[in-house]
Amino acid sequence: MIPVVDGHNDALLRAWRTGVSLRDRDDEGHLDVPRMRDGGIAAGFFAIFAPAEDDEPADPRSRVRATDDGYEVPMEEPVPFERAARIADETASIAERDLFLVRSVADLKRCLAGEETGAILHFEGAEPIEPGLGNLEAWVERGLRSVGIVWSRPNAFGHGVPFRFPGTPDTGPGLTAAGRDLVGACNELGVMLDVAHLNQAGFDDVARLSSAPIVASHCGVHALCPIPRSLTDAQLDAIRASGGLVGVVFDSAMTRADADLRPDTPLDVVIGHIEYVAERIGVDHVALGSDFDGCTPPQALDDATKVPALLDALAARGWGDDDLRALCHRNWLRVLAVTWR
């Protein structure tokens, strides 16, 4: 079984809300350590996210509002730093209790060798970081290795994309002054920057300012699913030019042409995005970014144990062992070796 580095999951949020231990196999959700091992996921980026509400929200489809040509989902209000910082501390404590924290490429290689099952700490939205960046170094010392500047709502650092179909990421202004400072500080500290959820102007700012490869941890392709969360061809080309990568998301609403939340979505829909990225910018720039525990994947891929089915399907379509290893972990190793200092 080829070991996988997964670009994004929300299992920590599920554990924070429910009190489950990720060390134990759980019938709920998509991912825990035993199921990672069964599915060959050697390590993953575990998101720390500050929700607007403590409890699990209602089915997102209940908040969908029809538009003349599709739909939109109303956006949350910004989350205050104090709330985000508290939740981040509590969530990080769960990661420290239940998981092996990956702090270096050497740690990641231990996971790929089967010695550990690892978690890379990631902020999905930089709200837990003080706008003046005063606590950033302390978070890096604690184990933070990846920062998504925004989730889709705006924050002190930048502006995200709305949940809308159809739509483009070209909406809203770019990074704030604090956001531009955050890019420089992450480059200096060796923290990966993630442009998932960032709007076009913010993406362009990161591409202009950052000295590290551009990473979109869990995204689809706009040409196949025309929503603001998807990457345009121009964005894909910029990622290739930077030496970066795209972690292809498993979510049905971010991969289907009609952007519908459908568990009966065929596995080939996700494969279409993987192959589009590989053909457009090269197999060395595509990876996996499941969004487990934060999305509605196809039933054939709705659990961490089912990742081998995706790899088997790619192999049946002609993907050789070398290309599958690039997709599963080698591209992550290359990007992180450059980014983490």
CATH number at residue 103: 3.20.20.140
pLDDT tens for each residue of 284-310: 999 999 999 999 999 999 999 999 999
- Weakest-pLDDT range from 32-46, 63-77, 87-101: 63-77
Query: What is the domain extent for residue 129?
Result: 4-339
Q: Rounded mean pLDDT of the chain?
A: 96
According to DSSP, the β-strands at 163-165 and 71-73 are antiparallel
Structure confidence at residue 53 (pLDDT):
86
Q: 209, 152 in Cβ contact below 8 A?
A: no
pTM higher than 0.95, yes or no?
A: yes
| Closest-CA residue to 84 (of 50, 123, 54, 47) | 50
pLDDT tens for each residue of 212-231: 999 999 999 999 999 999 99
Question: Token digits for 209?
Answer: 């300012």
Q: Is the pLDDT of residue 61 over 90?
A: no
Axis crossing angle, helix 177-189 with helix 200-209, rounded to the nearest 10:
40
Cα 311 from chain centroid (whole Å): 19
Q: Which letter, b or e, does each residue of 106-143 get, where b requires 16 or more Cβ atoms within 10 Å of its Cβ?
A: ebbebbbeeebbbbbbbbbbbbbbebebeebeebbebb
Q: Is the pLDDT of residue 206 over 70?
A: yes
For residue 157, give the 3-state DSSP assignment: coil
pLDDT band at 55 (very low <50, low <70, confident <90, very high): confident
Domains: count for the chain: 1
Structure confidence at residue 63 (pLDDT):
76
Structure confidence at residue 337 (pLDDT):
98
pLDDT tens for each residue of 319-338: 999 999 999 999 999 999 99
Give the rounded percent of residues in the chain with a pLDDT score beyond 70.
98
